[in-house]
Amino acid sequence: YLRVSSSSEPDGSSTGWTTYGSIGAYTLTGSFPSLIGFADNFAEAASLPSGFSFSGIEASNSSATAELNEPLHAGSVPKHSLWWKWSPGVIGRMKLSTFGSTFDTVLAVYTGTSLGKLSPVVSNDNVHPLLNYSQVDFPVTREGVYYVAVDGKNGATGRVVLSGSGTTASSPSNDNLGAATTLSGSSLLVRSSNFNATREDGEPEHRLTTKGTY
């Protein structure tokens, strides 16, 4: 919420005006580098877009703080960390980067439901010994919720730029009943994968119905 109201010239001014006489047109300007928020605390982590491509997410960690029980990010003691969360909704692989940030960043990705019980997924200090930005690449699951922390190495602060790009995994060709693979012969050896396979509407549960049989 923004509020604009009339105001008087400071006391002692010889060319000022009263609040009563402060009437006229005004101009309000602003800039919004990103529509995505950010959070100082893990519990308030802002949501990143659910897709596999986003960029231009900017924030400043200058006023951010570290929390009690916050883990080390890429081996660095947290001091000015920012938090986001991301839910892919599909299986795939994701790459996150702080390229464009104005300071030496550390980047870490976690799963978990509370700050004290986070499981590290991947982290990075510098993508290259001569570069100060961080980058991680990791596989994701359909149901996964991933928490992203960005901090400055050795307490560094400045403008954070976060971007992401990735790919989704293709479903198997015989994912659905109508596309079942035909098997033949008296002896079979089939190698396949159920990676990114799905359940169809109306598909029954595949489980033991009689002891010793399927």
Q: 67-76, 148-157, 167-176, 183-192: which range is least confident on average?
A: 167-176
Question: Which residues are paired to 140 by β-bridges?
Answer: 92
Instruction: Give backbone dihedrals phi and psi of 60, rounded to 5 degrees, phi first.
Output: -125, 135
Structural contact between residues 106 and 125, judged by C-beta atoms closer than 8 angstroms: yes
What CA–CA distance (Å, rounded) separates 66 from 98? Answer: 19
171 exposed, middle or buried (CB, 10 Å; 0-12, 13-18, 19+)? middle
What CA–CA distance (Å, rounded) separates 160 from 177? Answer: 48
Is pLDDT above 80 for 163?
Answer: yes
Query: Distance between the two ends of the chain, CA-based, in angstroms?
Result: 62
> What pLDDT is recorded for position 94?
95
Is pLDDT above 90 for 34?
Answer: no
pLDDT digits (tens, 9 = 90+) for 112-135: 999 989 999 999 999 999 999 999
Confidence of residue 210 (pLDDT cuts 50, 70, 90): low
> What pLDDT is recorded for position 80?
96
pLDDT digits (tens, 9 = 90+) for 57-76: 899 999 999 999 999 999 99
Confidence of residue 78 (pLDDT cuts 50, 70, 90): very high
124-143 burial, b for 16+ CB within 10 Å, e for fewer?
Answer: bbbbeeeebbbbbeeebeee
Is pLDDT above 80 for 17?
Answer: no
What CA–CA distance (Å, rounded) separates 84 from 6? Answer: 39
> What pLDDT is recorded for position 68?
94
> What pLDDT is recorded for position 173?
85
> What pLDDT is recorded for position 186?
87
